[in-house]
Structure 1
Amino acid sequence: MSTLDNVLQLQQPLKEGGIRQVNFFNGRLLTGKDLAREQLAHRQADARLGMAIGDGVAFGLEAARDPDLDQANAPVLRVRAGLAINRLGQTLRLGADTSVALTRRYDADDGGDGCQCVFAQCNPLADGTYVAGAGVYVLTIAPAQSSEGRAPSNGLDPSNVRCNTDATVDAVQFRLLAINPLRFADLDPSSPLFRNRLAYRCFGVEAREANAFDPWRVDPPSYGLIDELRSGALSDCDVPIALVYWTAAGLNFVDTWAVRRALLEPDALSGFSFQRNPLVPGELSSFAFVARARRLVEAQAMCAQFQQQLGDVLAASGAPAALNASEYFRYLPPFGIVPLQRLPLRGFDDAAFFNGIARRPGPGSQQGTPFIDVRQLGAVQQRALEYAPVDLGQREFLWVWRPWQNAKALHDNQSVQPMLAFASGQLPDFASPRLDMARFDYSNYANCCESA
């Protein structure tokens, strides 16, 4: 026998992994099983399209404490309507804003009134006993299936009477998955830094930093708390939408962007390798610092997580103008916006918030902060997403700018809130040049005579 007999030839159909659809023709006897196979084929085709688009949240599904129903011993979240795609390519649609109780009373065994007659890829979900109480949890949305109504039957097969439901509903369900306390045992839950440190542990920053010391080796395919959960209770059917910290006093915080991600399409570079790794026989090598699609999505989430937490800090503080960034943030995203106080508008103080952080021109008042054109901020943010977050524990340099349009509006006594923009010190300086298109009062000047 030739060695090529088992080798696939050009233009030879490969049936393995193919979608099998029912062939309809006049005179064929159809059964319920045939129609179920046809439904399965359509589901598989849709799932392949969903997997090509990528997993994550398409829009909506923001979770927050429900102010009308939330109680300390029975917390309730309000989840906005939205759409997500899980790793299996299934679309998860929440059609309306929904209140979700974190203390479960619903018995899943009583959810249906008929047999599971249709294909259910995620039935059952990953093993795990429901738990609730003090701890850190990930709230997820996952597919569910239920039956609805009754359909008439000809009675030819009495054994199928229990299957005569009129419709099966592809629905969604919410799940609360506990994070093992050992994963954050070194963090102090009573510290104001706990939320930020926990969020960046979900981002996998520590694992990424460790890998940066040896960038020639293979970039780790998984990192962070969410990837660790994937080996246990967090199945490919689940889409994480919120990180929840629950104490004896009730919900301490609900952090959406610590685990929520925008749609992440498959990365064509994920398997790309430049050459064999000479240090590990048989192992392929790639550069870990390539700004891959996942890193960009995570950078967007870091920026959104910072703005959400900053808003919560501002709302909870009685004197926000006295707060310092390092009190609440060990890590800053590569780009962010900080509102400043101007009574009656609440905000932070420039000198206090950035105190102890290396910046230009250094410690001082807001008046010494370089100007930037507000029209540049979108481009600066896009550029910043390619960079790593800022570790304040390492006293890293930070660019801080004042949008000159905002400063001019304040000078003209318009009703606006002052603001600052900051970005990773790895970026080039985007400060507005001298004269700034002939705006003499809102330009930056070099201290050419500083040494005199």
Structure 2
Amino acid sequence: MVDVLLGASYLDGGIAAVDFFNGRVLTAEDLRDQQAAEAARHRRLGRAAGPGVVSGFTVARGADGRSLEITAGLAVTAAGDVIELAADRVRVPLSRPVTPAAGGPCGQADFTDCAGPETPMAVPGQGVYVLAVSPASGGRGQAPRVAYDAGGVARDCGPRYQVAGLSFHLLAVDVAGLAAAGGLDVVDMTALTGGDALLRNVLAHLFLGTVAARNVIADPLGAGTGPSALDRLRSEGRLTPSDVALAVFTWAGGSVDVVDRWAVRRAPVHERIPSPPWTSLIGAARAAVSEAVFLQFHQHLYELTGPIRARDHFRYLPAAGLVPASDTFFDGIRVRPPVTISAGAVERLLRESLTCPPLDLRHDPALYLYEVRENQQAGAASYLVFASADLPDGDEGPEILAIHPSGPLRTGQSIQIRGRRFDWFARRPPVSLDGTEAMPADGSTDRKLLVTVPPKLDVPEEGRTCTLTVTSGRGTDSVPVIVIPGQPPLKGVLVLEAITPLLTGPLGPAVTAMRFRLTSQLDRAADVSLRFEVTPDRLRPLLVLTDDDGGPLPGATLFGVAPGEHRDFGLRRVGGRVLMPGNFAIVLTAVADEITVTWVGGLEHLPRPPR
């Protein structure tokens, strides 16, 4: 450790650029030093951006099965060098013909690794390799060279340019050793060594570090949490700071079998050494891995053909993804029946899924399935969104908790939809029954929607089950409801009369109540609401409606009456005070649908009580 004084220039480790001044003798070494200084500055910028693939460098199996095809691309190494492949596409042969010795067999081919296998193969005759790219340079063209003692005459030449290029090379991988070090179980080991349909998925997640990350989450302060296979290759020096991994592939039977680029390909991020281990769960590096998990799954799924059953090809799934609608994909997986969400909710759901670890189908996770409303309306090819149950339900869209009344709904009937997150104050969410919209009325809130069942909804006489849907800016929720045809308007009249004499004296202790009778002369049974008013208003607290036995009735009184039936009720005084002198009136109103009856009575004059 050295002391650095405040305000002093500390130059150790700085970039040494050539100092140009008039009269200085320049040599080739000076110019090379200046080039080196500029390259060092560029490498610092590259290290600040972080290693990874910026664009392109897509790796695919060659048409002959014995080569890899790589597209143009741009990448940054951990050392800070920028690598660019300018050609649209190049082919990298992985085998070459062998010139046999005299008497030897002809026409054979062998696998050729530029550096040679560095570790034994996990299974004889089958190999797993990582394709990497690194910077390379070479001379191009010629320029005359004059020696010091040549009298100014050029007698030979040197390279005109030093061209910065690249080279591809392979790293042989001991997958069994990496899997054991990474804590993979016997199911994964069998997939890696047996070459079954799960091979690609398990191999990808070996390099993605899914099991290692899960171990960190389970014991973030423990010491037994190992890095991913890609991290181990770096720590062992197999993958150097000058290498950028592009793809992992398997070689068997003299040809390429599986090629998976997202297993090792990462977006450029500034990496830091995780210490303690739990810090690996946060930051840009972890986000880049989560993105690779998502993209690896969809690339793998895209390359599969025919009816697909997830458990046959995948042990690990991203926390959310998009799959074609299928009757077989989710066989053997616990799923919630699909619900409908908006297209805007899909993007939010997928972005949030990048913060969650992959799903392990061996642990029997529960999945939520979603259909996209805009996709259905456009008649496009149907697809489903799946998401881990650990993610918010959709995007925390509306949730219907209850419908009032709870019985069969009638067309034209006013109902209440109780729930939450209706976003009433942000926008009026449309409510629909089997696609027929009904706009909520004023008085609705974020937890209550006041709606009229569409009168034009086509339902048979016996009724049918309809889907009631509430859609907000954040998603959709639906519930089944039974709807029956609305009844025709009531016919007939209501009769409301007093069955005790009208008050004729002070409403004092001796005069406490009046009795009334409501008689139905309607054509069918109906609910009748009853209310009363008193003038002047100050007398209202002194009176209360009562049932036939004298018990108080609620403020919103509702009677159910059949044709020809009557209901008796009362109006009585409460409290110990008496009415003040003056005029007063009582107005009783009974209402059934649009049929109304009113009774009016009272005193024109109420004498002052004796003192």
Match runs of 1:102-113 below 5 Å: 102-103=93-94
Q: How far off its partner does 1:166 sit?
A: 0.4
CA distance in 1, matches of 2:348, 2:244: 30
Match runs of 1:270-349 below 5 Å: 285=276, 287-288=278-279, 290-314=281-305, 317=306, 320=307, 323-340=308-325, 349=326
CA distance in 1, matches of 2:244, 2:295: 18
CA distance in 2, matches of 1:170, 1:388: 40
Of 393, 398, 423, which aligns to 1:433?
Answer: 398
Partner deviation per Cα, 1:79-135 (whole Å, 9 max, x = no partner): 1111000000000001122333242669xxxxxxxxxxxxxxxxxxxx943689731
CA distance in 2, matches of 1:355, 1:142: 44
Q: What is the alpha-carbon root mean square deviation over aligned residues?
A: 2.9
Partner SS for 1:150 = strand
Task: Tell me if structure 1 keeps the 8 A contact 2:54–2:75.
Answer: yes
Aligned to 1:360: 336
Partner SS for 2:129 = strand
CA distance in 2, matches of 1:289, 1:240: 20
Aligned to 1:18: 14
Task: Tell me if structure 1 keeps the 8 A contact 2:342–2:374.
Answer: yes
Q: How far off its partner does 1:445 sit?
A: 2.4
Aligned to 1:200: 205
**Which amino acid counterpart does residue 286 of structure 2 have in structure 1?**
R
Q: How far off its partner does 1:408 sit?
A: 2.3
Aligned to 1:172: 166
Partner deviation per Cα, 1:221-252 (whole Å, 9 max, x = no partner): x7111112221432111101111111105221
**Which amino acid counterpart does residue 324 of structure 2 have in structure 1?**
P
Task: Tell me if structure 1 keeps the 8 A contact 2:144–2:156.
Answer: no
TM-score (norm 1): 0.76
Aligned to 1:94: 85
**Which amino acid counterpart does residue 359 of structure 1 have in structure 2?**
V
Q: How far off its partner does 1:30 sit?
A: 1.1
CA distance in 1, matches of 2:252, 2:229: 20
Match runs of 1:255-266 below 5 Å: 255-266=260-271
Q: 1:167 to 1:380 in 2, by over 3 A?
A: same
Q: Does 1:38 align with 2:3?
A: no
CA distance in 2, matches of 1:178, 1:157: 51
Task: Tell me if structure 2 keeps the 8 A contact 1:63–1:77.
Answer: yes
CA distance in 1, matches of 2:167, 2:331: 45
Aligned to 2:535: none
CA distance in 1, matches of 2:52, 2:224: 22
Per mean C-alpha deviation after superposition, the further-off stretch among 400-409 and 93-102 is 93-102
CA distance in 2, matches of 1:188, 1:43: 44
Q: Does 1:381 align with 2:373?
A: no
CA distance in 2, matches of 1:174, 1:286: 32
Task: Tell me if structure 2 keeps the 8 A contact 1:63–1:242.
Answer: yes
CA distance in 2, matches of 1:162, 1:234: 40
Aligned to 1:403: 372
Partner SS for 1:407 = helix
Aligned to 1:58: 54
TM-score (norm 2): 0.57
Q: How far off its partner does 1:292 sit?
A: 2.2
Q: 1:255 to 1:287 in 2, by over 3 A?
A: closer
Q: 1:426 to 1:128 in 2, by over 3 A?
A: same
Q: How far off its partner does 1:289 sit?
A: 7.4
Partner SS for 2:346 = helix
Per mean C-alpha deviation after superposition, the further-off stretch among 56-65 and 188-197 is 188-197
Aligned to 1:278: none
Task: Tell me if structure 2 keeps the 8 A contact 1:140–1:238.
Answer: yes
Partner SS for 1:210 = helix
Structure having greater relative contact order (Cα 8 Å, sep ≥ 6): 1
Q: 1:289 to 1:172 in 2, by over 3 A?
A: closer
Task: Tell me if structure 2 keeps the 8 A contact 1:291–1:386.
Answer: no
Partner deviation per Cα, 1:178-231 (whole Å, 9 max, x = no partner): 1114335543443111110110010111222222222234796x7111112221
Aligned to 1:112: none
Q: 1:429 to 1:298 in 2, by over 3 A?
A: same
Partner SS for 2:297 = helix
Aligned to 1:135: 127
Of 127, 140, 149, which aligns to 1:148?
Answer: 140
Of 218, 223, 228, which aligns to 1:224?
Answer: 228
CA distance in 2, matches of 1:162, 1:446: 88
Aligned to 2:241: 236
CA distance in 2, matches of 1:137, 1:52: 29
Partner SS for 2:197 = coil
Of 234, 238, 250, which aligns to 2:255?
Answer: 250
CA distance in 2, matches of 1:161, 1:294: 55
**Which amino acid counterpart does residue 229 of structure 1 have in structure 2?**
L
Identity score, percent: 32
Q: How far off its partner does 1:38 sit?
A: 0.5
Higher helix share: 1
Partner SS for 1:206 = helix
Q: 1:407 to 1:219 in 2, by over 3 A?
A: farther
CA distance in 2, matches of 1:263, 1:171: 20
Q: Gaps (5+ residues) in structure 1?
A: 107-126, 272-283, 341-348, 362-368, 411-415
Q: 1:287 to 1:223 in 2, by over 3 A?
A: closer
**Which amino acid counterpart does residue 347 of structure 2 have in structure 1?**
G
Q: How far off its partner does 1:294 sit?
A: 1.5
Partner SS for 1:80 = strand
CA distance in 2, matches of 1:146, 1:289: 39
CA distance in 2, matches of 1:155, 1:289: 57
Partner SS for 1:135 = strand
Q: 1:264 to 1:152 in 2, by over 3 A?
A: same
Partner deviation per Cα, 1:321-359 (whole Å, 9 max, x = no partner): xx311111100012211023xxxxxxxx1x421122222
CA distance in 1, matches of 2:257, 2:269: 29
**Which amino acid counterpart does residue 81 of structure 2 have in structure 1?**
Q
Partner SS for 1:352 = coil
Q: 1:447 to 1:290 in 2, by over 3 A?
A: farther
Higher strand share: 2
Q: How far off its partner does 1:162 sit?
A: 7.8
Q: How far off its partner does 1:150 sit?
A: 0.9
Q: How far off its partner does 1:290 sit?
A: 4.3
Per mean C-alpha deviation after superposition, the further-off stretch among 176-185 and 89-98 is 176-185
Q: 1:324 to 1:154 in 2, by over 3 A?
A: same
How many residues were matched structurally?
377
Partner deviation per Cα, 1:145-194 (whole Å, 9 max, x = no partner): 11001111122268x98872100010011112111143355434431111
Q: 1:249 to 1:156 in 2, by over 3 A?
A: closer
